[in-house]
Amino acid sequence: MNRRHPAEPVDRNHPLGDLPLQSGRVWREARLAYRVYGELNASRSNLVLYPSSYGAWPEDLAWVVGPILDPERWCIVLVSQFGNGRSSSPSTGGPALQPGGWPVSHADNVQAQRRLLEEVFGVESPALIYGWSMGAQQAYHWGVLEPQRSQRLCCICGTARTTPHNRLFLLSLRQALTADPTWNGSGFDATPERGLRSFALIYASWAASQLFYRRGGHLELGHADVESYVEQAWLPAYRRHDPRDLIAMLDVWLACDVAAAAGIASGDRDADLAEALGRIQARCAVVAGRHDLYFPPADLAAEAALIPGASLQVLESDLGHRAGNPSGSLAEQAQLRAVVEELCGS
Give 87-120 pLDDT, tens digit per residue.
999 999 989 999 889 999 999 999 999 999 999 9
**Rounded mean pLDDT of 243-269?**
98
Residue 135 pLDDT: 98
Residue 4 pLDDT: 42
Q: Which residues contact 195 (CB under 8 A, 6 or more apart)?
A: 176, 177, 178, 179, 180, 182, 183, 243
Give 30-63 pLDDT, tens digit per residue.
999 999 999 999 999 999 999 999 999 999 999 9
Catalytic residue status for 292: yes
Catalytic residue status for 125: no
- Indicate which residue of 70, 257, 292, 318 is catalytic: 292
- Indicate which residue of 133, 150, 198, 317 is catalytic: 133
Mean pLDDT for all residues in the chain: 95
Give 131-179 pLDDT, tens digit per residue.
999 999 999 999 999 999 999 999 999 999 999 999 999 999 999 999 9
**CA–CA distance, 303 with 323 (Å, rounded to integer):** 19
Is pTM, for the whole model, over 0.85?
Answer: yes
Residue 261 pLDDT: 98
Catalytic residue status for 321: yes
**CA–CA distance, 321 with 236 (Å, rounded to integer):** 19
What Cα–Cα distance (Å) separates residue 236 from each residue in 173, 242, 250, 305?
A: 16, 12, 18, 39
Model confidence band, residue 346 (pLDDT cutoffs 50, 70, 90): low
**CA–CA distance, 226 with 328 (Å, rounded to integer):** 19
- Indicate which residue of 106, 218, 241, 321 is catalytic: 321
